[in-house]
Amino acid sequence: MITRRSALALALAAMATPAAAHHDHRIEVVDPWARAALAGRTAAAYMTLVNPTDTPDRLVSAASAVAQTVELHAHIHEGGVMRMRPVAAIEVHPGEPAVLQPGGLHVMLIGLTRDLKRGETIRLTLTFEKAGQVEVEVPVLAAGARGPEGHGGHGRHTH
């Protein structure tokens, strides 16, 4: 009985260990943000994904309690029109940050289960092929925001 209980404790301890246990694979999420939107509508989340390891990784899915469906999207030009299209994954190569921004790659939140209000923070779970699950706290900016405050609009410092 004691042995079985210790084994369970060990298993629980292992589960509590963050993604760092995955052979040092990890992804850093820089400047995440989303735009305010109403329940039932769609919203997008943007961020920069940095791979500090020497092994390529890819974002394969995302989930959030604030949306019925979460998809990875890209914008493509099609006959002079910008369209959104789901993509299977977003590659994150070492030394080449993946920039998710308006008009480009983004995490699409479809069917919001509640209003996303300016000033609040929503939680997003990103799943990477190698780094595993990464929890991200995403600040909600104004409906017309172009990027995180204090930055040049695309995650770059203006100074």
Q: 25, 26, 35, 73: which one contacts Cu ion (CB under 5 A)?
A: 73
What letters, b where the CB count within 10 A reaches 16 and e where it falls short, cover 112-147? Answer: beebbeeeeebebebebbbbbebebebbbbeeebeb
Toward Cu ion, which CB reaches closer, 99 or 108? 108
Q: How far is the CB of 104 from Cu ion (least distance, A)?
A: 10
Contacts with Cu ion by CB under 5 A: the residue count is 3
Which tokens hold the place of 10?
Answer: 């060990």
Q: Is 26 in the site for Cu ion (CB under 5 A)?
A: no
Toward Cu ion, which CB reaches closer, 26 or 46? 46
Q: How far is the CB of 130 from Cu ion (least distance, A)?
A: 25
* CA atoms of 128 and 62, how far apart (whole Å): 9
| Cβ-proximal residues to 98 (8 Å cutoff; 6+ apart), any chain | 48, 49, 59, 90, 91, 92, 105
Q: Is 35 in the site for Cu ion (CB under 5 A)?
A: no
Site residues for Cu ion, window 82-111 (CB under 5 A)?
84, 108
Which tokens hold the place of 125?
Answer: 């779970």
Q: How far is the CB of 105 from Cu ion (least distance, A)?
A: 9
Residues forming the site for Cu ion (CB under 5 A)? 73, 84, 108
